[in-house]
Structure 1
Amino acid sequence: MKKISTKIATFIVIGIIISACDAEKRIPNGKQRLTKNEILVNGKASKSEDITNQLYQKPNSTFLGYKLRLNLFNLATPNPDSVFQAKFINHPEKYEQMSKWLSAKQVDRLGQSFWYLGIDNFLKKTGEPPVIVDTVRSSKSISKIEYYYFNKGFFDVKASYKLDSISVKKAKIKYTITTGNPFFLDTLTTSIKTPALDSLYKTRVSSSVLKSGKQYNTKDFEDEKERITTHFRNQGVYNFQPNYVTFDLDTLNNNKKVNVNLIINDYSFQEKDSTKTEPFKIFKISDVNIYTDYSATNNSNVFADSTTYNNFNLYSHSKLKYKPKAIADAVFITKGGVFADFKTVLTTRYLNNLKIFNYPTILYKIDERDSTANSLIANVYLSPRKKYGLGTTFDVTHSNIQDVGIAGSISETIRNVFSGAETLELSARGNIGSSKDLANPESKFFNVSEYGMDLKLNIPRIWFPFATEKIIPKSMIPSTLVSTGLSNQKNIGLDKQNVTGVLAYNWNPKRNNTARFDIFNIQYVRNLNPENYFNVYESSFTELNNLAKTYNTNPDYVDVNTGDLIIEEGTSGFANDVKNGTIVVPDPDYSIISSIEERRIRLTENDFILSTSYSFSKTTKTDLEDNTFYQFRTKIESAGSLLSLVSNAANLPKNKNGNYDIFNLEYSEYVKTEFDYVKYWDLSKEKVIAVRSFFGIAIPYGNSNNIPFSRSYFAGGSNDNRAWEPYRLGPGSTGAVNDYNEANMKIALSAEFRFKILGSVKGAFFADAGNIWNVFDNITDTRATFDGFKDLKEIALGTGFGLRYDLDFFVVRFDLGFKTFNPANEMGKRWFYDYDFAHSVFNFGINYPF
C-alpha cells in the first residue's frame, strides 16, 4: 500500500510539472508570447548588454535554460476565489457539513487561507507572468536604441524591427540597426565671459574630458560640466552651478567632425522683478561660527556661553561642554580662506566621525558687512548626541570553531568623556555555542562558551607627546584607540584566559584608504586546563599510546582496566622517560614521541605576545550595490623584538632553554606579514565573478622557534577551502594527522561565480585552492614543510556550488564543497579520487566568504 501511495504521489507531481511546463497556457487568444529578441548591428548579431537594456520588452527569464519563474506563475490558479465558491458557496450541503466541524465564520475565512488563496498569491509573486508581444513597446524600443547610438556619436543611425511568428502563441522580434560612421571632436574653443573664471579654467585645461580626435559621447559633455563645476567651486566660486556650462556644437561641414565651443556666461540672478547679470566672484570666508548645541527648539534662544579660538567662534546655549581645540580641529573651513566645497565635505566627515554629534549641517550666507559682497559667513550647526548611551546586541553566529553560537553583549558609551570629544565604551559580552568536533565527555549541546569585559577609549586625534600634524595631517581624520580586555573561554577543552591591551593609531591617507599603526598590542594567554590536552587531541594520544604499548616498561603509567596510558600522569611520564633515556626507543619512534611532546608543550604553554604592527587597506567600492571593485589589505607585524632589545641591553639571564623570560614566561618573537586581494566583476543581470588571493607567513626567530597557536594559520572551513572542514587541510601533504592542524605559512586562492536563481535566492559555483605549510620553524616533517617551489604541487583544490538567501542586512549561505585535488592522497589518487557526496563538506555561513 505504501509503495502504491508513493507511485500515485509521484505521478501527481510529474503531472503538475508537465502541466506547468505548457508555457503558453496563460496566453490569451490572439496574443503571442515573446520568446526571443534578435539584434543585428550593421549586419552582425549582437548580444551587447548595453543594447539589450534599451529594449522595453524582454523574454521571460530562465535558469539554466529552464523558464522557472514563468512555470511557477502558470502553476497558480488564475481565480482562486472561484475554486472556493465552487466547492462551498455553490454547494450548500458541503458548506453545512464543514460548518459542523468549524463555525460558519471559520468556513468563510477558508477562502482567504493559504491553501485557497495564499499559495496562489505566493506563486504569482514569486513567478513571472508571460511576456506578451506589444508592438507599441517595440516602436518605443526603436526610439530608445536610436537615442542611445546618437549619444555615442552615431548621428545617422537607423533602426527598425520585424515581428516573426513562431507559432500561434509564440513570436520573436528582430531588431535591425545601421549605425553609420561615428562623429569625432575636432576644434575645441572656449567663450568664458568672467576673466577670473577664464584664468581658473586654463589652470586645469589639460584635465578636460573633451579631447580633439575623441569620438563624440554625450556623457563626456556631462562629465566635463561636473569637472569644471567642481574645480570652480573648490576655488571660491560659490555661486557656480553645472547649468552655467553650455556647448555650441557645429556639424555643418559634413565631414563627420564636431567643432565644440564651451560657453560660460556671467552670473545671473533675480533682483525684485528683473533678472540681472554680473561677473562671477571668488568668495572668501569672513567668519566661521560653530553652534555646539543647536536644535530646532532652542534656535531663537540667547547664547549663554561663547568663546573664540584660532579665529573660530564657538557658541552654546548652556555652559560650553567641549574644549575649543577639540571642535576647532575638526573644522577645515578657515577665516580668510577661499570658499571650497571639499573643505565643507571634509569638515562634515570629520565631525561625523567624532560620534558625539548627529550629522552636522553647514550653511553659508553672504556677509552683509562686506560692501563688495564677496565674503561668506560659514555657520556650522552641531546637534549633540546623548552623553550616555546603552547598547545591546544579540547574534546567532557560525564560525570555524562553532557549528552554532548565541552571542550577546551590553555596552555603555560615554561621549565627550574628557571634554575633548573622546568616546569611552565599557562592555560585557558572552557567548555560548556548540561544536561537534570538541572534546565533550558529558555530551552537552552547548560545549563552547566565552565571557569577557572590554574597555575602549577613542581619542579623535593622534595622542602623542610631540606634534604629528606634518606626518599625519588632520585632513586624514586621525584617531587614537586605547583598549583593554579580559575574557574567559571554554572552547577546545583546554580552556583559556585572555588579557589584551592595545594602543593604536588610525587614519585615512585617502578617501577609500585606511591605515592603522599599533604602537603595542599585548596579549597574555593562560591555559586553564592543560592536563586535558590528550582528551582534546585524540590522534596525538592514539599515536603516543600505541608506541607506549610497544616500549613502556613502567606499569604505573597504564590504566589496568583499559591498558591505555593514564592522562596526564602516564602520557607525560612515558614521554619524559623516552626523552631522558630511561626508556630507550629507536630513532624514528623517538622523533615521533619528541614531536608529540613538543607540540603538546607549545599548545598548552602560556603565551605572552608584545607586538607592533602596521595595516593598510584600499578599496574602490562605492556602496553596498557596487559589484565592480577591488580591495587590497596588507599587514606587517613584529613581536618580541623590543623585549629582546631590552633583555640584551640589560644583560638579563636566560632560562634553561636558552631564552629570555618575562614574568617567568618565555615571550614570543616573530615577524609576520599578510597580503589579501579581492576583485569583483559585474557581468550584469545580477551575475558577478569574485576572486580572492591571500598569502601570509610568520617567521619565528630569537626567543622563539615556533609561532603561537593564536597567530598561526589553518585551512578549511566556510570562509576558506570549503571542500575541507576547519583545521582539516594540511600542513602540506600530511593529510591532517593532528586534530587541529596549523602552520606558519598559508596560500589561498578562491573564485566564485554568483548568479540569481529566484527572487532573493542566489546561487554560486566556486573553486578554492590553497594549503598551509611549516617554514623556518622547528617542524622537521618534510611532508609538512615548504622547501621550495616544488611544494606548490601540494596546493589543494576544492570545487562546489552553493545557495545564498539575501535578507538585505545579511546573507545566509549554504555551500557544498568537493575534494577535487587532494595532496594528502598517494600519487595517482589525488585528482577526483574523493569527488563524491560521501567525502563532500557542507558549509553554513553568514555573508559572502570574501
Structure 2
Amino acid sequence: MRARWHVVKLPAKIGLFLVGLSFFSCNVLKRVEPDELLLTDFEVYADSVKTTNSDVQSLVSQKPNSRVLGIPLKLHLYNLAKPNPDSAYQDWLYRKENRYDRLEAILSQKQVERLGESFFVSGLSNGLKKAGEAPVVIDSSLTQKSLDRIRAYYNTKGYFNNTGSARVDTTDKQRASTRYDIDLGKPYIIDTISYRFSSPAVDSIYQLHKEESLVRSGEQFDLVNFTAERERLTDLFRNTGIWNFQESTINYDILRDTILDRDDQLMEVELNIENPRLRGGGQAPPYRVHRIDSVNIFVNYNFQDQKDSLQSITEDNFTIYYKDKLRYKPKALLNAVFLEHGQVYREIDRIRTYRQINNLNSFRYPNIELVDQGDELLTTNIYLSARPRNSLSLDLDVIHSNIQRIGIGVGAALVTRNVFGGAEMLSLNGRATFGFLSDQSLPEDFFTEISADINLIFPRIWMFSFVNAQRVIPNYMLPQSRISFGTTFQKNIGLDKQTLNLLLGYTWSPNVKTKNAFELLNIEYVRNLNPENFYNVYQSTYGRLNDIAEKDDYQSNPDLADFYEPADDPDDPQRLIIPDGTTGFTNAILTGSVPPQDPDDFGDVFRIEERRVRLTENNFIFSSNYQFTLNNQSDLNDRSFHQFRWRVETAGNILSAFAGILSLGKNEAGQNLLFGVPYSQYVKTEVEYIKHWALTATNVLAFRSFAGIAIPYGNADNIPFVRSYFAGGSNDNRAWFPYSLGPGSTDNINDFNEANFKLAFNLEYRFPIIGDLKGALFTDVGNIWNVWDQTTLDSATFSGFESLKDIAVGTGFGLRYDFSFFVFRADMGFKTYNPARIPSQRWFAEYNFANSVVQIGINYPF
C-alpha cells in the first residue's frame, strides 16, 4: 500500500510544483525592462512560403525561451532568482544602523562576509540562474545578423541575388515575434565544367572516374555538392597511389560574376587541382603515383632502441624487427597488415591495417609511418607496443530488478593475451551475486547466483580446414572466432536452475556500419533443481488449480481427501497440499479416476499441467544462429540515423538427422532423448528496425519496431522458456510490468506470461528540460501470442489479422538524467488500450495514476 501511495502522489507533487512555479513567477516579463520586447516566436519565409528547414532555423541567432509542455520552465526558474543577490545582501546589511556590528559581534568579520555567499543568500539565486534561462529580449543587431546568415545560406544553394528583410511584430504587451522574408530570385545553374590540373597523374586518374563526379552540368549550384566532391576526390586520389594528396589543393573557380545582371542564370565552373604545398611555403613536385617498396614491422618497439641493435626476420617481403625474442607467430602479424610490397598505395589499406591490429587486442594503438624514398616508392614502418600479457579486473555491482529487491554482485576476470603466439586471448571469468527477492510471498527470501566461464578468442576464422576462410571472410573484415564454456548455479525464486553452455561462434565486419555474427554451435543445458516447488513459485497458476479443487463435489470426494490440508475454519474451503496434493488432484482429473464436476474442468486442469510440465522440464538446446546488424550512425553526435537487425536460429536439426545413428532413446511421448532429456527443435527468427529523427538541435523522435516468431516442430511441441518472448517492462510496453502482458487477451493468468510470437512498436519524443535532465513522451504498442504450438487457449492464440485487436497500447511520460557515462531513466506508463478487458472497456478504462506503472531503467530503451 505504501508503494502505491508513492506512485499515485508523485505525479500530483510534480503538478503542484509546476503550478507553484507558475504562481510565484507567472509574470514572464519580470526581468524585461519597460523599453524591451520579449521574443515569443520567429518565422522564416522564402518566396512567401514558410520554411521549417532545420538548417535554416539553426541560423537564427535569437530564439524564444524553451518550453516544457507549453510552459517556459527555465524562464520561470530564472525569474525566481534575485537579480543581484550580492548587492541586495549588502543593502540589507547596512540598511539599519549597527546591524553589521551586531552580526560581527556574534559571528566574525570573515563569517559575515561569507554569509553573503551562502546558499540561502546568493547560492540559491545563482543556482536558479544557472539552471534557468534569461528572457530572450529582441536585439536588432542579432536580428540583422540572423538575416545575413540566412541570406548567406541561400547563396550556397545558388540564389546569389537573393534579397531579404526582417521585421518585428508586437503580439502583446512587451511581447513580439520576428519574421524573416527572403526573396530568392532565380537560382544559378552550372553550365560548363572545365579542368586545370598541375599533375599528369591526377589528370589521368580523374579522367577514369570523371562520370562519378557529384558536380554536374545542368544542375543547380549547391555548395554541399562541391564540398562532397572535394571529399570524394581526396579519397579517390589517396586510394590510387597519391599517398600525400591534400584536399586543400582542390579549388573550384566560378568564371562568371554573379553580381552582374544578366538574363540567363548560367555559370561556368573550373576545377583546379594544384601541386602539393610545402610546410615552409611554396609548392612541392607534382603529385605522382607511389607503390609500396619495403614493409617493416617493429614489435614491442621503444623509440630509444637503435635499429641495428634489433634482431629481424624476413618473410613474404615483410621484415619483422624485435628485441631478445619474438613472441608472436609471423603469420599472425602479417595477416594484420594490408600494405604489401609492389602494390599501389591505398589509404583504405592503411586504415584496415589500423583496425585489424586493434582487433588483435594485443597491442596499443599502432603507429604507421610512410617514408618517400624517391623513385615513386614508399617505405612503410609499423611500430607496435604490446599490451601486458596478463591483466586482472574486479567489479562490484549493486542490483535491483522486478524480481530482486536488492543484491550485490562481485566479479573477477583474468585475461591472458597471445596464448599460443597467434594473438589469441584467453579470459577466465567468475561472478557471484546474492541478495533479497522482491516478492516476500515466495517460499524463500534470499537468492544466490554463481557463474563461471572460460573464453578463447582467435583473431581469425578458426576450424575451417576444408575452406580457405580468408577468401570468404578477408582479414580486413576483422574476423574473430570464439570458443566459450560456462556454467551457472542459480537459486532465486524456488525452482532453482543449473545451466551449462558451450559456444563456437564467429564475428566479422565488412565495414564500420555492418556486423555479422554466426554461432555454429550454441549448446545449452538447463536443469531445474527443485521442480516440486513449482506451485510455491507460480502462485497464480496454483490459484487457478486451487479454484477448481475448491468445488464442493471435489472437497467432499473421499478419494481426494488426502490431497487437501485442513482449513483453520470449518466453513472455509480446503486448499491443495503442495506438491503431493496438486499432483494427486491433477492426476485424478486427467486419468478420469475422478469424473470432472464441470466439462471445462478437464481442459483447465490439462492446460495447467501442460504449463507445469513445460516450465519444470529440463531443456537441451543444440542450436545454430546467424545475426546481421546495420547501424549507420556516424558518431555519438549523430542523432538522425537508423539501425536494422535480423536474426535467425535453428535448433535440433543436426541431432534429428543423426538420431538413428546415435541410437537416441525415446520417452513415452515418442520424443528422442539425449542424456535423458528431450532435445528442443525449432526455428526462430526476428527483425528489429530503429529510426531516430533529429527534429531540432535538442529534440529527437525515436521509433522502434520488432517482430519475432519461434516455431516448434519435429522433436518438440513448444519453445523452451529461455527462448520464448514476453511483453512489458522498461524496454518494451511500459504500461505493464515484465511478463504481465498477454498472451493475447488473457488477463495476466500466470506469474510469468510468455509465448512464441511477438509484435512491438514504440514511438518516443525526447526533449530537454533543465541541464542534464531530459523528458520524454512515449507510446508503446504490442503483445505476445501463441502460434503453432501445443497451447489450446483461444484467447492466447494468434489466429490471423483479427487477433491484432489484442494489441495493447500504453502511453506515458518519463524523465532521464544524463550522467555522461550512462543515463538514469524513470518512465510512468498508463494502460491506454487493455485487450484483457471486455471490448467496451478497453480504451482508457485504467487511464489513471492508481493503475499507472513506474519503470526504472538504465540508458535509453531503444
TM-score (norm 2): 0.91
Contact 1:156 / 1:180 at 8 angstroms: preserved in 2?
yes
Q: Which residue of 61, 70, 74 corresponds with 2:66?
A: 61
Q: Which residue in 2 is equivalent to 1:458?
A: 457
What is the Cα deviation at residue 100 of structure 1? 8.7
Structure 1 pair 250/321, CA: closer, same or farther in 2 (3 Å)? same
Name structure 2 gaps, 5 residues minimum.
Answer: 1-14, 569-573
Q: CA deviation at 1:543?
A: 2.0
- CA separation in 2, counterparts of 1:14 and 1:532? 52
Partner in structure 2 of residue 762 of structure 1: 774
Shift of 1:117: 2.3
For residue 766 of structure 1, report the CA deviation from its aligned partner. Answer: 1.1
| Residue 789 to residue 23, structure 1, CA distance change in 2 (3 Å) | closer
Cα pair 1:186 1:257 within 8 Å, conserved? yes
User: What residue in structure 1 maps to residue 708 of structure 2?
Assistant: 696
Q: Helix, strand or coil: the match of 1:469?
A: helix
| Number of the residue aligned with 1:5 | none
Deviation at 1:752, TM superposition (A): 1.0
Shift of 1:279: 3.4
Q: Does 1:282 align with 2:289?
A: yes
Could you say if the C-alpha distance between residues 589 and 524 of structure 1 is closer, same or farther in structure 2, counting changes exceeding 3 Å? same
Contact 2:494 2:537 in 1 (8 A): yes
Q: After superposition, what is the alpha-carbon deviation per residue over 1:615-656, rounded to whole angstroms, capped at 9, x for unaligned?
A: 111111111222111111111111111112221334444222
Give the distance between the partners of 1:349 and 1:438, measured in 2 at CA: 51
Q: Does the CA contact (< 8 Å) of 1:31 and 1:133 recur in 2?
A: yes
Which of 584, 589, 607 does residue 573 from structure 1 map onto?
Answer: 584
Which residue of structure 1 aligns with residue 152 of structure 2? Answer: 147
- Per-residue Cα deviation, 1:482-538 (whole angstroms, up to 9, x for no partner): 111111222332111111111101101332111111111111111122221111111
Corresponding residue number in structure 1 for 2:7? none
Q: Does 1:348 align with 2:354?
A: yes
Structure 2 counterpart of 1:261, one-letter code: E
Matched, 1:219 2:224: yes
Give the letter aligned to residue 240 of structure 1: F
Q: Structure 1 residue 612: deviation in Å?
A: 0.8
Q: Is the 8 A contact 1:161 1:175 kept in 2?
A: yes
Instruction: Report if the CA contact (8 A) 1:401-1:726 is conserved.
Output: no
Q: Any residues of structure 2 matched to 1:11-410 within 5 Å, and which?
A: 17-18=22-23, 20-28=25-33, 30-86=35-91, 108-164=113-169, 170-251=175-256, 254-267=263-276, 269=278, 275=282, 278-296=285-303, 298-300=304-306, 302-367=308-373, 370=374, 372=375, 374-399=376-401, 401-402=403-404, 405-410=407-412
SS in 2 for 1:294: coil
Matching residue of 2:750 = 738
SS of the residue aligned with 1:832?
strand
Change (3 A) 1:191 1:83: closer
Contact 1:304-1:319 within 8 A present in 2 as well: no
SS at match of 1:750: strand
Q: SS of the counterpart of 2:550?
A: helix
State the one-letter code of the partner of 1:353: N
Gap change, CA 1:434 and 1:616, over 3 Å in 2: farther
| Inter-partner Cα distance in structure 1 for 2:664 and 2:737 | 45
Paired residues of 1:438 and 1:536 also in contact (CA < 8 A): no
2: distance between equivalents of 1:89 and 1:358?
A: 64
In 2: Cα distance, 1:496 partner to 1:105 partner: 66
Contact kept, 8 Å, 1:398 with 1:844, in 2: the verdict is no
Mapping of residues 495-574 of structure 1, within 5 Å: 495-550=496-551, 551=554, 553-561=559-567, 563-574=574-585
Which amino acid is 1:575 matched to? T
**Aligned partners of 1:274, 1:631: CA distance in 2, in Å?**
47
Assess if the C-alpha contact under 8 Å between 1:189 and 1:261 holds in 2: yes
C-alpha distance in structure 1 between counterparts of 2:17 and 2:770, whole Å: 24
C-alpha change, 1:333 and 1:733, in structure 2 (3 Å) is same
Match of 2:703, SS? strand
Cross-structure match for 1:846: 858
Map Cα deviations across residues 762-819 of structure 1 (whole Å, 9 max, x no partner).
Answer: 2111111111111111111111111222211111111111111112211111111111
Instruction: Tell me, in whole angstroms, the C-alpha distance in 2 between the residues paired with 1:797 and 1:32.
Output: 45
Shift of 1:113: 2.3
- How do 1:775-790 residues align onto structure 2 when only pairs under 5 Å count? 775-790=787-802
Task: Answer yes or no: is the 8 Å Cα contact 1:398–1:845 preserved in 2.
Answer: no
For 1:671 and 1:791, the matched residues in 2 are separated by 22
Q: What residue identity is the alignment partner of 1:122?
A: G
Deviation readout 1:98-154 (Å, 9 max, x if unpaired) = 789867765553333222222111101011112233333333323222211111101
**Contact preservation (8 Å) 2:255, 2:269:** yes
> Structure 1 CA distance, aligned partners of 2:20 and 2:686?
57
What CA distance in whole angstroms lies between the structure 2 residues aligned with 1:608 and 1:78?
A: 71
Q: 2:670 aligns with which of 639, 658, 674?
A: 658
Shift, 1:277, TM fit: 5.4
- Alignment check: 8 A CA contact 2:21 2:76 kept: no
- Pairing 1:768-847 to 2, within 5 Å after superposition: 768-847=780-859
Question: How much has 1:399 moved relative to structure 2?
Answer: 4.6
CA distance in 2, matches of 1:165, 1:554: 86
- In structure 2, relative to structure 1, the CA distance for the partners of 1:188 and 1:406 (3 Å cut) is farther
Residue type at the aligned position of 2:386: P
SS of the residue corresponding to residue 280 of structure 1 reads coil
* Alpha-carbon separation, structure 2, partners of 1:407 and 1:185: 66
**8 Å Cα contact 1:765/1:800 also seen in 2:** yes
1: CA distance, partners of 2:186 / 2:244 = 41
Is the counterpart of residue 429 in structure 1 residue 421 in structure 2? no
CA 1:554–1:418 in structure 2 vs 1: closer, same or farther (change >3 Å)?
same
Distance 2:106 2:534 in 1: 64
TM-score, with structure 1 as normaliser: 0.93
- Matched residue, 1:449: 448
Distance change (3 Å), C-alpha of 1:107 and 1:564: farther
CA contact (8 A) 1:400 1:718 kept: no
Residue 469 of structure 2 aligns with which residue? 468
User: 1:396 deviation in Å?
Assistant: 4.0
Corresponding residue for residue 486 of structure 1:
487
**Contact 1:503 1:521 (8 Å CA) reproduced:** yes
Query: Number of matched residues?
Result: 831
Aligned CA distance change for structure 1 residues 38 and 600 (closer, same or farther; 3 Å): closer
Greater displacement, 757-766 / 46-55: 46-55
**Alpha-carbon deviation of 1:660?**
1.3
Deviations 1:576-631 (A, max 9, x none): 23333322225421121122112111111211111111111111111122211111
Query: How many Å separate the matches in 2 of 1:652 and 1:33?
Result: 82
Structure 1 counterpart of 2:534, which letter? Y
Give, as a single letter, the amino acid of the residue that structure 1 aligns with 2:587: N
1:20-69 CA distance string (max 9 Å, x none): 23333323464444344343332344444322322222232222332221
Check conservation: 1:429, 1:453, Cα contact below 8 A.
yes
Q: What is the rounded CA distance, in whole Å, between the counterparts of 1:523 and 1:846 in structure 2?
A: 28
Asked whether the equivalents of residues 767 and 797 of structure 1 are also in contact (C-alpha less than 8 Å), the reply is yes
Q: Any conservation in 2 of the 1:477–1:507 contact (CA below 8 Å)?
A: yes
